[in-house]
Every structure is written in structure tokens, then in C-alpha cells.
Amino acid sequence: MRLTKNFWLNEFNCNDGTVVPNHLLDNVKNLSMDLQVLRDYFDSPIKINSAYRHELYNSTIGGSKNSQHILAKAADIVVVGVSANEVANKIEELMNNHTITNGGLGRYNNFTHIDIREYPARWDFRK
């Protein structure tokens, strides 16, 4: 199922192959709209490393018990040809000016976490 111009539902499935449950589809749709804004800005494909995770999978990989991934509200992404730092900086700008949901933003060395939680959250795990 196409969610936006450039994103399909299957891109948000759990990495173990579990599909996003129907009751979480609205979350994925909202997340994909924010990702589409980012995709349009950079005019470059976005690779989703991890999006929805069911609780067992999330626990197995050491994810937080309160992870937004469990609610299908989060994605760990790489924008092709753009550094993770530049991606995070642009997300921060778009969140601050209310172009996209002012939710979670996690900075990592090789990817960026974005989520649509109901409140701002920021962390930096770069080394």
C-alpha cells in the first residue's frame, strides 16, 4: 500500500518480517508524511533501517521498553548521500518551525532516529 509519493507500507514492517498491525496504520501514515517532507527537501531516497518493531523483537535487539518503534511511530533512517548529522540538523529545524511533528530526534553516527511522539525528545549517541 502506498502511503505517500515515495513511501510504501512494507518499508515500515518489522525487520523480522512481521507486518505493521492494522491498529497502528494511522501512526505509520503520519510518520510517512513527515518523512516525505524530508525526502522532498533533500530530493534523495530515504532508507528505513528500522521502523515498526513488535515487543519481542524490540526486546531481542535491546530496544527501550518504551520505544516509539513498538507503536509504529518511529524510524531509523539514512538519507542517501547525506550525512547523519546533516539529516538530524534538518529534522531539528523542521520540528522547530512546526513543518513536521516536534517529536523525538536521536543522533547516531551512521543513522538518524525520528519519531512522532506527542512531545519533544532529543538525544545524542554519537561517539
Q: Report the predicted TM-score, pTM, of the whole model to 2 decimal places.
A: 0.96
Q: How far apart are the first and last CA of the chain?
A: 38
pLDDT in tens, the chain (127 residues): 999 999 999 999 999 999 999 999 999 999 999 999 999 999 999 999 999 999 999 999 999 999 999 999 999 999 999 999 999 999 999 999 999 999 999 999 999 999 999 999 999 999 9
Q: Which position has the grid cell 522547530? A: 96
- Return the domain boundaries, the chain: 9-124
Q: Answer whether CATH 3.30.1380.10 is correct for domain 9-124.
A: yes
Write down the pLDDT at residue 6.
98
**Residue 4 one-letter amino acid:** T
